[in-house]
Amino acid sequence: MAYKTLIGLEIHVELATKTKMFCSCSNEFGNEANTQCCPVCLGLPGALPVVNKSALEYAIRAGLAFNCNIATNTMMDRKNYFYPDLVKGFQITQADIPLCTGGYIEVDTKDGSKKVGLIRIHIEEDTGKSIHTESGDSLLDYNRSGVPLIEIVTKPEMNSKEEAQDFLEKLKSTLQYIEISDCKMEEGSLRCDINLNVVDEERGIKTNISEIKNLNSFSAVGKAIEYEEKRHISLLEQGRNTKRETRRWNEVENKTIVMRSKEVAADYRYGTEPDIAPIVIDKDWIEEIRANLPELPQQKKARFIREYNLPEYDAKVLTQSKELSQFFEETAKLSQDPKQVSNWIMGDLLRRINDEGIEIKDLKFTSKDLVDLLKLINDGKISNNIGKKVFREMFETGKKPEDIVKEKGLIQISDEGELKKVIEKVLAENEKSVMDYKNGKKRALGYIIGQVMKATKGKANPQLVNKIVTDMLNEK
Amino acid sequence: MITSLSAIEIREKLKSKEISAKEIVTAYLKRIEEMEPKINAFITITEEEALKAAEKVDEKVREGKELGLLAGIPVAIKDNISTRGIRTTCASKMLENYIPPFEATVVEKIKEEDGIIVGKTNMDEFAMGSSTENSYFGATRNPIDTERVPGGSSGGSAAAVSAKEVPLALGTDTGGSIRQPAAFCGVVGIKPTYGLVSRYGVVPMANSLDQVGTFGRNVEDAALLLQVIAGHDKKDSTSVEIDKVDYIEKLKEDIKGMKVAIPKEYVQLNIDAKIKDCFLNTAKLLEKLGLVVEEVSIPSLKDSLPDYYIISTSELSTNMSRFDGIRYGYRTKDYKDIDELIKKSRSEAFGKEVKRRIMLGTYSLSKGHAEEYYKKALKVRTLIKNDFDNVFKNYHIILGPTTPTLPFKIGEITDPVTMYKSDLFTVAVNLAGICAISLPCGYADNLPIGLQIMGDRFKEINILKAAYALEMNLGGAK
């Protein structure tokens, strides 16, 4: 039984322009309800939309970053339906002639990388937000009405939840790199719907496509795909088929539930938006935007491998976000050992950042501080382990590494004479271990070294300790 | 009599300190009070605001400050044009108490030129109609014969000017809504080229056809108001950036040698004989004045009425969707869910004609019909536009009657399609986006007959010059 899952995604991304798509109201998130509205985004009779050039530019940036064709002649259309959060009773969007067509995003699969094709990217306005209370009231906040969106529609070329999740990670990373959106699913600036069906390759049967909505995180996307895949396959195995319908992902019960049947598709009566003249985009402007595109993640990854001699894995991790890659590069440029920087960032730094749930810009210390810390280690002034302790303190307090070392008296003991004194004492107190070592139990060495480190509160230079202890034991 | 003065005369007398703005406004408010019970041209009269504005203008005169082009002149505004703080009803129950928090650009411009707004005029509900009988606030009566309609949808503005309640008024024209009432009320009405005047703040009926235009008792007055409201507005993406023309200066220029086209399709039509005679006699007069008058064929004219009704209803059906009873306007009292809220509010607050046109338009745009109706209508529109472009290659203006009939009696026409046919001569102008003016060219049975002069895009000066010369030669305005 060979089953192939076909997954397409429909993603809405809020553009981080200063103002809304068709008016000059602020596009800021999180303010008091209904304080960022005007006649245009409230759809008051007589108000007229004016296209936000910035939004157009951001959308073109996205199209270029994903290798799309950019239309030089495009236009806006009306999509008609009634809903309280849709102030005009229609949404201004693009139907027939989208701004961008074609394009692709490369994703990692178990068999290497592959291109997932895009069908189109178009611009449109967002609706207001409905909040349904327990008492049955519906509250409407129109701050979001008119916010600029791009809608990205992919071809159904993803075949697993891993591919879909990687697609979303790559999408988010690129969008953040070109600085057109902060892509926060929790804040709604990135929304994703799934279109999924399964093909029984042996019998040549395809199930009907399910559309899945209400996904609030990339992990929910993965879980929903997993659930739907199973549901489709299970029906196929029973000789049945899925219905063509829209389903809602229920995060609590971990399953999808029918929302509405797609058999009678809504008639949106699409027509041209007559208040906005056809949009003509100058080819020179497109080239200017292309020239000003920042370095994209794939390009940066390749450069890191080349310039800093990093392994592919490191380059991939470090370029997953623009901020992280910038922090790495700042630090690497000041240090002599990019690989060491990479290790520290991938290890200690990323771990703490993820645990605390903060961002690079919230770090209390700077690239230079990290370089100074590494220099202290490389110069032998402190051991690697002590270095990790210092790092922890830097992270929490933002104090300079030299200051921390001084305050806590963490300078490594590298004086042989001083070390010999301590070691002699430890050996004297641990005659049994000495005997064990002499009798061939090599593990005893580790124990003794451990005791020396304990006695010096970890400050002894571990390499020296190892050497001296070994020598002294062998002398005995 | 102050109310017999033209707008231009009013401004001159104000400037020379012969009369004050307060006297002017008081005289017109008195006239309004006298005439309103007979004609019902106004929905809202803004007496207090008008007197305050007059006060400010008088202050400017006293201080010797520069006076705007409309200084001291009372202006009436059709009630589908947003006025900040003053209710804007579109003659509908849906917006009976709607007070816009913003102002239409054309209103801003009038105020900037010291024009004094005295009130909002009656109209067919949401501009859908040709008689001003479709108003939630009752019909307006034609001042020339109060048993008859003033035309529509800008009937209130036309009647107000005709009855000397105001010297100037704004209207809107989507398929003839300024020109037809101008003809019925014996006044001058101008529909500018699409894109010349800002639509920001004007409640849309059909976005690709609507234009704000002007009414005056003579050509010069109507042109004066046009001068003020014309001009690019960056808040309206369909308004055009074009060099300003001084209409007042240029409309008195010589018209000898201008070439006039008369569509043979108009001559062949079965219309009121008196209207046809008046129109043909005017053509002969123009020849006498030294113009070249020739017959041309504009074949697509015969399709203009159905084309107009498909395109305009398609556009308006989407424009009307925002009235859902949720944020402003009328909301039904009892509802159990959102569907009921929306359905009942709209059913209870929209008049018959509005509902009829929304249904027509929704049908034209719907799946399975859009290709056949809406998309086809767009193609026919291009043919109409091309026909006009071809004529204007060789002619300065096109002449025709404004309406096929004399003003009819209130309640006389009940069949909607018969009503739609009132727009026979006017809709093609909106479809092609060109400009046109209607002015009185004669009387029959004591009822006025309107003559329509059409001009190429942004060539308002051609129709204004011809209209002015005709007006002078027909004995001047009444």
Tens digits of residue pLDDT in B272-327: 899 999 999 999 999 999 999 999 999 988 899 999 999 999 999 999 999 999 99
Helix (H, G, I), strand (E, B) or coil at A279: strand
Rounded to two decimals, the pTM is 0.89
Chain B CB contacts of A274 under 8 Å are 206-208, 238, 315
**A140 interfacial to chain B (CB closer than 8 Å):** yes
**A44: chain B residues, CB-CB within 8 Å:** 82, 100-102, 328
- Catalytic position from the list B20, B135, B154, B177: B177
Inter-helix orientation angle B105-112/B219-229, to 10°: 110
Question: Residue A426: what pLDDT?
Answer: 86
Active site residue B208: no
> What CA dihedral angle connects A106, A109, A113 and A118, to 10 degrees?
-30
Predicted confidence at residue A1, as pLDDT, reads 65
- Give me chain A's average pLDDT, please: 91
> Do the Cβ atoms of B322 and A277 come within 8 Å?
no
Is B37's Cβ below 8 Å from some Cβ in A?
no
- Work out the minimum CA distance from A212 to partner chain B, whole angstroms: 24
Distance of CA A367 to the CA centre of its chain: 22
Q: What single-letter amino acid sits at A180?
A: I
Q: Is residue B133 a contact partner of residue B148, using CB atoms and an 8 Å limit? A: no
A276 lies within 8 A of chain B by CB: yes
pLDDT value of residue A358 = 87
Distance CA A246, CA A214 (A): 11
* pLDDT tier at A457, thresholds 50, 70, 90: confident
Is B78 labeled as catalytic in the residue annotation? yes
Q: For residues B431 and A476, which has the higher predicted lDDT (pLDDT)?
A: B431
Which ipTM value was assigned to this complex?
A: 0.94
Nearest residue in chain A measured CA to CA from B88: A45
Whether the bond into B153 is cis, omega within 30 of 0: yes
Please give the backbone phi and psi of residue B116, each rounded to the nearest 5 degrees, phi first. -115, 115
pLDDT at A405 over 80: yes
C-alpha to C-alpha distance for A59 and A52, rounded to whole angstroms: 11
Q: At what angle do helices A462-475 and A416-429 cross, to 10 degrees?
A: 60
**Residue A467: per-residue pLDDT:** 87
| Pairs of residues, one from chain A and one from chain B, whose beta carbons lie less than 8 Å apart | 99
Residues of B in contact with A80 (CB under 8 A): 318, 321, 365
Over residues B357-385, the pLDDT tens digits come to 999 999 999 988 888 899 999 999 999 99
Q: Tell me whether residues A277 and B342 touch, CB distance under 8 A.
A: no
Q: What is the mean pLDDT of residues A60-75?
A: 97
Q: Which of B78, B109, B164, B459 is catalytic?
A: B78
> CB of B463 within 8 A of CB of B397?
yes
Instruction: Collect all residues of chain B within an 8 Å Cβ-Cβ radius of residue A48.
Output: 199-200, 235-238
Alpha carbons A464 and A411: distance in angstroms, whole number? 14
The side-by-side arrangement of strands in the sheet containing A271-272 is A90-93, A77-80, A271-272
User: Which residues of chain B are modeled with pLDDT < 50?
Assistant: none
Tell how strand A279-280 and strand A73-74 pair up: antiparallel
**CB within 8 Å of chain A, chain B residues 54-83:** 81-82
Is A260's Cβ below 8 Å from some Cβ in B? Answer: no
Q: Which of B101, A429, A60 is nearest to A450 (CA)?
A: A429
Q: How many angstroms away from the CA of B412 is the closest CA of chain A? A: 32
Looking up tokens 């996205």, which residue turns up? A62
Helix (H, G, I), strand (E, B), or coil: what is residue B216? strand
Least confident of A333-342, A465-474, B127-136, B348-357: A465-474
**pLDDT tens for residues A442-454?**
888 888 888 888 8
Over 90: is that where the pLDDT of A182 sits?
no
pLDDT of residue A202: 87
Rounded Cα gap, residues B68 and B53, in angstroms = 13
pLDDT given for residue B348 in this prediction: 98
Rounded CA-CA distance B27/B50 in Å is 12
Decide: B83 and B100 in contact? Cβ < 8 Å.
yes
- pLDDT of B1 reads 87
d(CA A54, CA A60): 10
Q: Specify the pLDDT at position A262.
A: 52
- Scanning B327-346 for CB atoms below 8 A from A yields 327-328, 338, 342
Q: Which contiguous run of DSSP H or E holds residue B104?
A: none
What is the predicted pLDDT for the residue at B478? Answer: 56
Least confident of A367-376, A391-400, B263-272, B428-437: B263-272
**A19 contacts on B by Cβ (under 8 Å):** none
- B324–A84 C-beta distance less than 8 A: yes
The whole-number pLDDT of residue A412 equals 80
> Looking at the predicted structure, is the pLDDT value of residue A190 above 90?
yes
Based on the residue annotation, tell me whether B314 is a catalytic residue of this protein.
no
Phi–psi pair at B169, nearest 5 degrees: -150, 155
pLDDT-wise least confident of A60-64, A116-120, B337-341: B337-341
